[in-house]
Every structure is written in C-alpha cells, then in structure tokens.
Structure 1
C-alpha cells in the first residue's frame, strides 16, 4: 500500500519522469474539472502536490519529451474543448504555456516520434469527429499541420512501431465502432491504410512486443471485450 493522492480524480494522465517520479495531471472529480497535479515518489511511496496546470482539463494527453519536459495537449475543461498546450518542467515543478494547436480536440492520441516531434491525431472537437493531425516541434514550441488520417476517429489508440511509423487502430466515428487501421509515415507526413483488425474496438490498448508485433487487447464494442489480436 502507498499513501493516497492529494486529489481524487478520474480520466487523468500519468507520466513516468526521467527522475523516476510519476506525474499525475488533470482529470475530473464529481462536477469539478481539475488543473492540479500530483507527484508520486517511489523511493518514499508518498505523494506531493506540484505546480498546477494553467488550464483544467480531462481526456487530454501527456507526453514525456526527450529532454524530460512533459507536454500536455488539449482535452476539455467541462465547458469547452481546448486547443491549448503546456509544458511541465520537473526541475522547477512549474508549467508554461506553449504553442496552441490548430484544432481543439479531446479523445485524441499523442505519439513521440523518433525525431523527437509529437504527433497529435484525431479526436473530437465538440461537434465533429476529426481526421486532422499535427506535429509539435519542441525546438520551436510550435504545432504545424501534417497529413490527415483517412478516417476521422476518437477513442482510438496509437503505437510507434520499430520502423518509426505510427499505427492507429480502432476508435469510433458517428456512432460506429471501427476496426480500421492506418499508418503514418514520418518521412512523408502521409497516412496509408493497412489491414483491418478482426474486431472493431475503442478504448482498447496496444503493446509493441519485442518481436515488433502489436498486441491489441480488450476495449469496447457495445460491451467490454476480452478478445485480443496481433498485427
């Protein structure tokens, strides 16, 4: 057993920092949407509060960049969908805003590429399912658009493959559950379709295995799934 977090929360993010601590950000509790952040120290099994984000958000993403900084993107504050992004510096425990995204979104994915950029793809902006994608460049703190997904989707999953490409699987679109998959090529900035999953699923997980295969497990398709499959 460990001590409890300082704030109850759900639909938050958890990021393993380079110093071994775990950063928890945002989420919601009851009718409140949170900008607070907590740190877990495994050496003492204790939680401490750290600097709060500039914006309350949930269903956002958090990515640990190659320099150890944590990039948080988009999400919702319960009243609006966000295009804002901000960065957490573990050395100071503080947040700073960075370049805004070109599209507000939540239920999207964020993938750290081999070149250090972050690929943000898909999601929902409060009225439309998104097929747009954009790249965050930490050297310039800017987000630029890149090739669109073939299929708009939210609650999908993205995996960075050993060859550097990004595999996006499943999700939902306009009330339909998706079994489609597509690949993003970093060298061209374009997406191509690839083999469909056997089962449509959203809110599932994917794991990159040591042999390069991708294991997709569980998720939701009208009910919770126990199925798994390999790509």
Structure 2
C-alpha cells in the first residue's frame, strides 16, 4: 500500500491547483453534457466491437459483429490527424473474443464466436503489433472459446477465462506465455463462467468475477482468486462488496483494455448496478493491492437527471474524470447524455438535457478516450434495438462539457532538470540537495511505470532501457511542491 499512498499524497497536493473546467460549446453543441458530432465512417459495419487506445494516439476497433450478424475479421484504426479509419485484416474473426493489451504495447487476441454468435467459437490466437500494424498467428487455445476475457499477470503470462455454450471452456482457464508462444491449462475454476471480468492483482495473481452460466442466466455476484504460483482457483468472496451486497458488473460493455480503467490512484473503476432494495447505479473501484472493491462516494445520484441507465463508462487519460454514457429506456428517437464525474471529489456533473441520436440509431458499442484530442470516439451504432443483424459503420466524436485540468502557474516551481530527453537507456534527474522528494512516472494512460523517493540526493539515474518507446509523465514532489515533465523514450 505504500506506493498507492504516495500517489494519493501527490494528487492531494496537486488538487489544490486542479480544477474541472467547462468548455465553451461549439455550434455542434446539442446538450446532453457534451458536444456530439458524427465522426468518419469505419470501413466495416460493426457492433459490440473491442476498442482500444494505442500508445501513439491512434485508436483501434477490433472485430465485432458486422451487419447480418457476421463475425468481423477486420480491425479499423482511427487516425485523429487525418480524421479517417484504415482497415487491417486479422487472421480470424473476433466477435466476443478475449483481447488483452500487453505491457509491451502489443495486443493478444484469442477465441471469438462464429457467424450468428454460434458457439463454442474459434480456438486460434494472434498478436497485433501497432508498430507495423501486423497480426501474427501465435497458436491455438486448448479449448475453443467465445465470451471470454483475459489479463496479463505480473509474471508476463496472460490468463484467459470464460466460455459460452461450452462447459469445458467455462470451467477451466488457460495461460499464454508471450515469450514462447506457449499455452497451458490452469486448475478448475471455482464457478464456471461465460463473459467474466479478469483483473490482475499486485501480488501476481488475479481476480475473476461477474459473468453468467455457460448456457445463460443471471449475473454472478461471486468473486474468485487465481493463484499464479499454485495454478489454482479458490473462492474469494460471495459479493463484490460483502458489507454492501447485490452489486453487479455487466461485462458485455467492458470492451476495452483494463489499462484504460485505471484511476489516478491506481485503482480500477467500474460502473455497477443492483436491483434491491431499489434499482440504482454506482461507481465501484477495485484496489489491486488489497484485492477489495469499494463504492465511490458521490455527491449526487447517477440517475438524478435525464438518464435512467448507463451503457458505457470511459476515463480520461489520467484517470481523473469518469464519463458515463446514459440513456432513456424504450424511447425513440433515442435520447442519450454524458454524465461527468470528478473522481477526486466525487462531484457529479449532471446534464439538464439529452442529446437525440439520429433517426433509427441505437447504441451497441464502446467509448474510447483519445488522449491527444481529449475527445471520445464512440463506435457501434445499430439500426435496430431488437437484434444483432443491423450494425452500421457510423461513429460519433463526443467532446465532454467538463474536463480535468491543472493550473501549473499556481504551483511553485523548483529546479527540476531531466536529461537527456528524449532518452534511450537512462535519464539523469537533477534534484534539490536537501529535503524529502518523491518521483512518480506514469505512461500516458496513467499506469505507474516507476517510482522512487529519498532525501537530499542531487543526481538520480533512472533506467529506461526496458520501457516501451513512447511518452511518459514524470511527477516530482519536494517539500510539498510539485512539478511535472514529459519524458520521451526512444529505442
């Protein structure tokens, strides 16, 4: 818990000069908590795709269901500079597949359903490398799977769990070792599941929760733990929050990398709902240190306004703001809105009005935050709310009314110097010779990469040779004063 405490202390100090600002509305503004406009069309029609932000600022949409309920075998990459999509063919269709962003920036993809959602699905796996936009075949799972999910563990292996209409896939998980392209089996899961959520823990294991029975049924409230040392599963708890029971996380709308769910303090954020004693929505955070879930305290109810429910949740690049895509039940044309939540204070920015989608449009997709434009890409518009056969290639670009910003002029400067920058194998950080200091490096998604603290050291060497090339943010604290600096790593 020491690392997370330091992170919280930094942001507590930074909070004194951080504000949430309301952006001026453009001529596109039509209410609903954001500026809504059509984005460029994708090359493929699709709904229920998996969307991810790439480290270079692009965004990628993997697979999904094409019009006609055909499993999509293409990825569409969005380039914000050209405002266009480029299609890349995958080795296999990926509908309801496991997609995992690995620590080196590549993506592991496995399984996925056949056309029309027919199970048990594909058995093949591949890796996407954003550096050259290539998909490379890496072998077969032991068990064909769809409605599966995964996460990379601390030792580098990828854990894959879940199976739809497939008792074997639902009951047993698998491991993929990227360095050897090797697959292996785990012990039996405590509860067979389709469509689970898999979360890595800081002790090297993982929690698996949510999902439903392999042949369908109610969402599970139970949580189980995967022990990476003994390769076994065990029951962890019967509820996400045992002292506040009933909360459910619907994994079908969790179609983005877990790295994009990380809050400013290192916890993972989810939207959850429960039916009793009354129907309500909440934000729930998972702490990978303590392996506990906690309800985020908010100053207003999430449905104290236009939305009756929420379809999706996305965080900004630093994990400071949460944006929930709200909707109104059984109403056409379809009204939606964007509810903004300041995760530092719990303040809810509730829009007074809704935005009405185009005639015949329904949402069946995922939001993705662009860290460069600070706008949201939404993909997955269907021409029908009743089936999976009418996906479109439409997209929306959503600019929130509220964004988190820091007024650096109000933070007292001190003599922080970093060189060389850009860096290759290492950088030297020049610090004040006296007083306590702490350094924290995060990637552009807010993930902690490196941290160190000390007292009175003038020159500190920070190794960067094993870091993936890209941009990083250094936050330095000295005697209660803060400074931030971007560091570029090249190889």
Q: TM-score range, shorter-chain basis?
A: 0.7 to 0.9
Cα deviation, residue 110, structure 1: 0.7
Unaligned runs of 5+ in 2: 1-36, 240-244, 286-292, 294-491
Conserved? CA contact 1:178–1:200, under 8 Å: no
Unaligned runs of 5+ in 1: none
Distance 1:48 1:216, change over 3 A: closer
Normalised to the residue count of structure 2, the TM-score between the two structures is 0.42
Report the equivalent of 2:230. 188
What do you get for the CA RMSD once the two structures are aligned? 2.6
Structure 1 CA distance, aligned partners of 2:75 and 2:43? 9
Larger Rg: 2
Q: Point out the structure with the larger strand share.
A: 2
Structure 2 CA distance, aligned partners of 1:220 and 1:100? 38
Query: Aligned to 1:82, what secondary structure does the other structure show?
Result: coil
Structure 2 CA distance, aligned partners of 1:160 and 1:97? 25
Distance 1:91 1:7, change over 3 A: same
Distance 1:212 1:64, change over 3 A: closer
Kindly provide the CA deviation profile for residues 109-153 of structure 1, in whole angstroms up to 9, marking residues without a partner as x: 110112221100122244666121111011111211012210001
Cα deviation, residue 107, structure 1: 1.1
The alignment covers a number of residue pairs equal to 228
Q: Does 1:218 align with 2:272?
A: yes
Distance 1:53 1:11, change over 3 A: same
Report the equivalent of 1:8. 45
Cα deviation, residue 94, structure 1: 2.4
Structure 2 CA distance, aligned partners of 1:47 and 1:194? 43
Conserved? CA contact 2:125–2:137, under 8 Å: yes
Equivalent in 167, 181, 194 of residue 154 of structure 1: 194
Conserved? CA contact 2:53–2:59, under 8 Å: yes
Report the equivalent of 1:201. 248
Normalised to the residue count of structure 1, the TM-score between the two structures is 0.85
Conserved? CA contact 1:13–1:24, under 8 Å: yes
Structure 2 CA distance, aligned partners of 1:137 and 1:181? 25
Equivalent in 47, 50, 53 of residue 85 of structure 2: 47
Query: Aligned to 1:130, what secondary structure does the other structure show?
Result: helix
Q: Point out the structure with the larger helix share.
A: 2
Q: Which has the higher contact order (CA 8 A, sep 6+)?
A: 2
